Structure 1
Amino acid sequence: AAGLIILAIFYPSGDLAPEWLLLSFGAALAVFVLFNWLPRRMDRGRPERPHSTRVRKALGGLPYVIAGCISWYGFMQSGLHPALGLLPVVPAIPHADRAFGIFAEAEEHLHDLLNVLEHALKHPVEIVLFFFGLLNAGVEFSSMGDATWLVLAGLIIGKPVGILFFGWLAAKPLKLGIPEGMRIIDLVVIGFVAAIGFTVSLFVASVAFDAGPVQDAAKMGALFSFAAAILSIVAGKVLRVQKMDG
């Protein structure tokens, strides 16, 4: 998300017209008030939540899909990259009081709308991202240069170091803790897994650089980051990372 925000700020898709963002945030606010806050307000003191249930059964995620389309259009017209178009809408979607993480088994027992949409879109998004990477990675192996090694170093070195440092910062000085059974050093493995830059890195490279040798070299760096998969396995073995049951 941070990368997309940087992309939107420093690499706008056109002339900036920030007044169009009012449309995006207005759509998000409207869908939140009408289909999230208002039904819950009407259900105050009623554990069965009849109004919220009726809205959920009758409309499902349709209001949020429509709001997302409106928000996307607003971002596109504003000159900011429309990849950010859904950001104002996501917080407006009804969600459970607690989230366990998309890969946690406990998530299967949560049926809030945000959780349902998240799991319903998980596999389609993975397929779309795969083909996006496949189509945008069309460069020759000879297209290497300084940008290749800079992008590769940013992913292979920057991701593990950054995730380890900020994970430690959150867990220790800020006392936010980490998941039970996990060690701080395990963040190194997570960092290597996150270093695989097959999608966002290719996307940023295609937008940040004009078509030509520099863009091709940057894309090669993103493709070479697949080596992080091997590094993550090696790091997991060396650091003795084990899968926790339950």
Structure 2
Amino acid sequence: MVWALFHASGIHATIAGVVLAFTVPVSGRGGTQLAETFEHRFRPLSTGIAVPIFAFFAAGVAVGGESRFPFDPIAIGVMVGLVVGKPIGISLVTWILTRWTRAELDPAVRWRELIGVGTLAGVGFTVSLLVTDLSFDHPADADTARLAVMVASIVAVAVAAAFLVRPRRG
């Protein structure tokens, strides 16, 4: 209901989620950590059902639309940015900080794992789709970018898995 009211008012509907997050009390009666209880209780529902449904509907790629995916420069730029740019940027900044400041990585963290987590940052549904909506006026360009975000997110998960999943040694 809040989403619909925000949308009808002309305010971007994603702001509704941010506003609702501020209404969740941090602690309940008897000192229980209510926010933590909510998070534990609703995480499976959120990550398993709500987020994929949101991503599907938020993407808004028109079936039979005018997308020029995958060889359009927009699609290539989006995919390279999410799958290659994110891990390079995160890894490079981390390396610079650990090299030229007093910051240190925990000894248990391997660079392979850091690159894998950086690659997971390429899963860009929410912000990437929001930027797409704000960036492209032409429907074909927007459809191309939305499809590229979805494909890049799937590729980013696969690449991250290659970095993060360790084979069992028997």
TM range (shorter): 0.5 to 0.7
Find the residue that maps to 1:117 and give its secondary structure. Answer: helix
Q: Is the 8 A contact 1:156 1:228 kept in 2?
A: yes
Q: Which residue of 2 aligns with 1:143?
A: 68
What is the CA-CA distance between 1:169 and the residue it aligns to? Answer: 5.0
Deviation at 1:171, TM superposition (A): 5.1
The answer to whether the 8 A contact 1:137-1:223 is kept is no
Change in 2 beyond 3 A, CA 1:132/1:89: closer
Deviations 1:198-238 (A, max 9, x none): 4442343234323511101111211221112222233346x
Counterpart of 2:56? 134
> Number of paired residues?
153
1:192 equivalent in alignment to 2:123: no
Q: How does 1:89-128 map to 2 (within 5 A)?
A: 90=22, 93-94=25-26, 112-126=33-47, 127-128=49-50
Q: TM-score, normalised by structure 2?
A: 0.66
Using the TM superposition, give the Cα deviation of residue 120 of structure 1 relative to its aligned residue in structure 2, in angstroms: 2.8
RCO higher in 1 or 2 (8 Å CA, sep ≥ 6)? 2
Given candidates 135, 141, 163, the residue that maps to 1:214 is: 141
The CA distance in 1 between the partners of 2:76 and 2:93, in whole Å, is: 24
Contact 2:55 2:125 in 1 (8 A): yes
Mind listing any 5+ residue stretches in structure 2 that lack a counterpart? none
In structure 1, distance between residues paired with 2:131 and 2:80: 16
Does the aligned pair in 1 maintain the 2:112–2:163 contact within 8 Å? no
Alignment of 1:26-105 (within 5 A): 81-85=12-16, 86=18, 90=22, 93-94=25-26
Q: Percent identity?
A: 22
The CA deviation string for residues 147-199 of structure 1, in whole angstroms up to 9 with x for no partner, is: 11111111011210122233345556554544562124421001122212344
Indicate the larger mover: 171-180 or 119-128: 171-180
Q: Give the drift of 1:132.
A: 2.0
Query: Root-mean-square deviation (CA), in Å?
Result: 3.7
- The 1:191–1:91 alpha-carbon spacing in structure 2 relative to 1, beyond 3 Å, is farther
